[in-house]
Amino acid sequence: MLSDTPMRMTKQRKVILERLRSVTSHPTADEMYEMVRQDLPKISLGTVYRNLELMSEEGVVLKIDVGGSKKRFDGNTSTHYHLRCLNCGRVDDLHMEPVKGVEAEAAILSGYQVMTHSLEVRGLCPACGKKNTKSN
Ligand code: ZN
Ligand code: MN
């Protein structure tokens, strides 16, 4: 067990990370499982899930976890903002410069060592917005 498991973990982890970094769709664990299965047909959903959780704890990947909705994962760990559609749940990158001074001010106000900050803008994506307009 000791000789086999760590190697397999490393390979699985590498495939999961490569797949996640190749997309900008912020996939859920289930969506990641479907993608990774193309390379590793025998992998289980639990293994994909555990690896994603572990890598997010280590800061290798970003977990987008806002109450009520499914957790999504992001291979881009740099400070950047997101848009979330309240209808279909899709998450997109918001191509806007992170607001300057937030982290420094937060550190002064709180005494925290601030590493990063995030912002999520919520609304209807263009596709859902169109449908909404038509039905009203
Ligand atoms: Zn939508
Ligand atoms: Mn992102």
Q: What tens digit of pLDDT does each residue of 42-96 get?
A: 999 999 999 999 999 999 999 997 766 789 999 999 999 999 999 999 999 999 9
Instruction: Give the ligand whose atoms come closest to the C-alpha of residue 89.
Output: 1
* Topology annotation, domain 78-136: Dna Ligase; domain 1 (3.30.1490)
Distance 71 CA to ligand 2 centre (A): 13
User: What integer pLDDT is reported at residue 6 of this predicted model?
Assistant: 53
Task: Break the chain into its structural domains and give their ranges.
Answer: 1-76, 78-136
Cβ atoms within 10 Å of 19's Cβ, excluding its own: 21
User: What integer pLDDT is reported at residue 1 of this predicted model?
Assistant: 44
Distance 8 CA to ligand 2 centre (A): 28
Instruction: Give the ligand whose atoms come closest to the C-alpha of residue 72.
Output: 2
Distance 123 CA to ligand 1 centre (A): 8
Give the chain's mean pLDDT.
Answer: 90
How many H helices and E strands in the chain? Answer: 5, 5
- Using the predicted structure, report yes or no on whether residue 98 has a pLDDT greater than 60: yes
β-partners of residue 91 are 84
Q: 10 — phi, psi (to 5°)?
A: -65, -45
> Does domain 1-76 fall into CATH 1.10.10.10?
yes
Residue of 1, 2, 39 whose CA lies nearest to 17: 39
- Using the predicted structure, report yes or no on whether residue 3 has a pLDDT greater than 50: no
Residues by chain with Cβ below 5 Å of ion ligand 2: 74, 93
